[in-house]
Amino acid sequence: MKVDVLLGLQWGDEGKGKVVDVLTPRYDVVARFQGGPNAGHTLEFDGQKYVLRSIPSGIFQGDKVNIIGNGVVLDPSLFKAEAEALEASGHPLKERLHISKKAHLILPTHRILDAAYEAAKGDAKVGTTGKGIGPTYTDKVSRNGLRVGDILHNFDKKYAAAKARHEKTLKDLHFEYDITELERQWMEAIEYLKEFNLVDSEHEINNLLRDNKSVLCEGAQGTMLDVDFGSYPFVTSSNTVCAGACTGLGIGPNKIGEVYGIMKAYCTRVGSGPFPTELFDETGKKMRDLGHEYGAVTGRERRCGWIDLVALKYSIMVNGVTQLIMMKSDVLDTFPIIKACVAYKVDGEEIDYFPFDINDGVEPIYTELPGWNCDMTKMTSEDEFPEEFNAYVSFLEEQLETPIKIISVGPDRDQTIERYKED
């Protein structure tokens, strides 16, 4: 049995949570393989709205096994708040959720360090969410991190050493802070974390595969935020691409099956960093308002722009995407003209590939297509799609050389239309 991987192809916020929720009935297991509580996955169904930060999006579907993998960084305080809210709404987490002992812990001092580093950068700040993600991954690769499994073995001594090291750095940065309440809540959350099933997730997943269980691997953020392949240095601190599923869960590359690439019908970005197709006019504002483009975790306004096919081709390539899923198609319902970036102009030269650096001097070259000017939110079949929308989808498939298998026409679980259905 192979695992299927689902990940974002743009700068995050593509709608991965909803798609995982829709696809989960086809799988026995949903496993999150990277990222931290800076990644909010929003799901809407039965008149309720949920925002998941660390917990896999398959948690709402019956008796599925949900795994937080070793590639995830976990903040016990934020996890406790998220988990208790879900349990209060009737979802039995302790029966469904397994947490890797090798997942790294976000310490209270990591969050303070995050703020201190951003303050020190001034105008050159990356625009982090302030959740301590970067400092936690830094400790991980420098072999100074604490892992979930450490809470069961000589934890007090390990925590004290890590805290002392961080406090020395904060003193050197002359950053003022008060850790008292943050640390108190965090220690309470550590005790709560011990109530869950803490596992060697690499063994668990491979054993499940040997038992012919189907596994869906869920990524966070998006490909263009990947620490290696994204718009560096304005990226996250982990590998958001398909390869991250292997390192973040402990599965071999030969175990990868389908790779679902999720994209919006347009493009958004949160925080600092380059964004070639960003719109600064009323069109961009209209996209943001119609798409309710505000961060699920941070509440920050998302920057909006037309779809970037140069970046998408690159994302499809580095991930080995086998099928595409297009979200928020309905947001473009009232635009008379739809634009798609098909190339860049860099230093007067037209290129159709994603270059080493897009931070300066990249001008998008657009193809224009007619809009469909009708409400698609009530549509339940691709047979109802207007001719102009079908033309847009066909254009994207031709340009990206990958089939668009699923199209979303609204935020609810039921507003999802599957194409190319097998008879």
The residues assigned a catalytic role are 13, 41
Residue 30 in tokens: 């949903």
Geometric angle at alpha carbon 135, from 199 and 301, rounded to 5° = 100
Beta bridge partners of 74: 105
Geometric angle at alpha carbon 69, from 239 and 132, rounded to 5° = 60
Q: Which of 190, 189, 179 is nearest to 81 (CA)?
A: 189
Q: Which of 132, 232, 226 is nearest to 179 (CA)?
A: 132
Residue 390 in tokens: 């079908």
3-state secondary structure of 73: strand
What is the distance, to the nearest Å, from the Cα of residue 328 to the centroid of all Cα atoms in its chain?
16
Long-range contacts (CB closer than 8 Å, 24 or more residues apart) made by 252-257: 255/2, 255/3, 255/209, 256/2, 256/3, 256/5, 256/320, 257/2, 257/3, 257/4
Cα–Cα distance, 259 to 272 (Å, whole number): 28
Beta bridge partners of 66: 30, 97
Tokens 């869950």: give the residue.
Answer: 196
Q: Specify the DSSP class assigned to residue 81.
A: H
Any residues with CB less than 8 A from the CB of 187 and at least 6 apart, and which?
Answer: none
Q: Which of 302, 246, 297 is nearest to 269 (CA)?
A: 302
Q: Which of 240, 346, 333 is nearest to 14 (CA)?
A: 240
Residue 18 sits at φ, ψ, to 5 deg, of -60, -45
